[in-house]
Structure 1
Amino acid sequence: MKQSFHHCIASALIFFAIAMPSGARAEVDLNKSLITAISKQMNVPVEGVFKKFSASVHFDPSAPSSGSAQLTVDVGSYDLGDPSYDSQVIGKDWFDAQTYPTATFVSSAIAAAGGGQYRVTGKLTIKGRSAMVVVPVTLTQTENTQALDGALPIKRSQFDIGTGEWKDTSIVADEVTIKFHLVATKF
């Protein structure tokens, strides 16, 4: 079996909104934030980390429908912890980072779901393919920061992640879970 990606997957990118009072902007603290993609190869979970991403967020928890969020992820920064796997995953069969260097999420609606929970609807684009997704988000606030946590299952095949022999989902599962912990500092 080729050692190509394991979790190469689907990537990710999805993302979401950080809450700020009065529609204020929040600056995402990349040192405290994390976006990962978890896939299963031969039914064994494999997790990779996206090392580079940026976010623009406008959100007021008292008026969630007026909020917006945009996230851009550098798919070439996907790190599986092994340089040979990393180079395979960003190659043509998986993310094709040379042709499609970024994945994006742009919100179109944010709705409260109760108890610090929100549903963020938006367009997720990976490898030039787009899909509308609904991201469940949990908001935690402190005096100076806000954090968003969540997980979104996606199908890698929907975004053409894994081509050629890797299109077969019996080795690398079709479902990939994008997990995130985004921390924003108020300003």
Structure 2
Amino acid sequence: MTRLLFPSLCALAFMAAMPAAAEPAAKLVADKSQIAFVTKQMGVPMEGAFKKFDAQVAFDPKKPEGGSVALQIAIAGAGFGVAMSDAELPKAPWFDAEKFPQATFQSSAIKALGDGKFEMAGKLTIKGTSKQVTVPFAIAPAGGNHAVATGSFTLQRLDYKVGDGEWTDTSVVGNDVQVRFKFTLAGLGPL
């Protein structure tokens, strides 16, 4: 009896030590992806972008509720393509890139809405302030083993203390910031 019981216990212990099966991992194709933001300066829309970011994506479009997304954005790479503005963005009143070099997003729930559309809830942290956000997105095949996730949402910059001091005046720089993204993903799995 002991001869049969010992191997069975060893097998159970081994299986318990194994990690649970995770959702398929997809790889972000950074050079074919983008994160843009649009704000208004004195009523005129200005579009900027983050140049460096990375994401860890474990997501099965057929079972989205088990998926997760973690995003890290290098704040020092933010810019509008205008030298004067780009020099100000990393400074303390705006992103304070020296003290807070990264903005992050960590999903807490993903649900399917149908027709390739999804909704993701999670925590967005910018400049040391975290807020819950809901991000709608769509996924479409992009040929080969690639898919493209696109979406947008609006946040209020003052909620994250972006534009402190004299820049809290929203008649000069608007409070609403639309964030738009396009992530090209390799190995996402069938849609």
Name the TM-score, length of structure 1 as normaliser: 0.86
Deviations 1:27-61 (A, max 9, x none): 11111000011100111110111000010000001
Does 2:136 align with 1:112?
no
> For 2:149, what is the secondary structure of its paired residue?
strand
Judge which range, 174-183 or 83-92, deviates more.
83-92
Aligned to 1:60: 60
**Which has the higher relative contact order, 1 or 2, with Cα contacts under 8 A spaced 6 or more apart?**
1
Shift of 1:184: 0.8
Structure showing the higher helix proportion among its residues: 2
> Where in structure 2 are the equivalents of 1:16-165 lying within 5 Å?
23-141=23-141, 142-165=143-166
Q: Following the alignment from structure 2 to structure 1, what is the Cα–Cα distance between the partners of residues 148 and 23? A: 16
Q: Following the alignment from structure 1 to structure 2, what is the Cα–Cα distance between the partners of residues 46 and 82? A: 10
> For 1:31, what is the secondary structure of its paired residue?
helix
Unpaired runs of 5+ in structure 2?
1-21
Aligned to 2:167: 166
> For 2:54, what is the secondary structure of its paired residue?
strand
Unpaired runs of 5+ in structure 1?
1-21
- How many residues end up aligned between the 2 structures? 166
Q: Following the alignment from structure 2 to structure 1, what is the Cα–Cα distance between the partners of residues 92 and 175? A: 17
Q: Which has the larger radius of gyration?
A: 2
Which amino acid in the other structure matches residue 96 of structure 2?
D
Aligned to 2:183: 182
Shift of 1:62: 1.1
Moved over 4 A (4+): none
> For 2:65, what is the secondary structure of its paired residue?
helix
Q: Following the alignment from structure 2 to structure 1, what is the Cα–Cα distance between the partners of residues 80 and 41? A: 13
Name the TM-score, length of structure 2 as normaliser: 0.84
Cα RMSD for the two superposed structures: 1.2
Which amino acid in the other structure matches residue 82 of structure 1?
V
Which amino acid in the other structure matches residue 52 of structure 2?
K
Shift of 1:25: 1.0
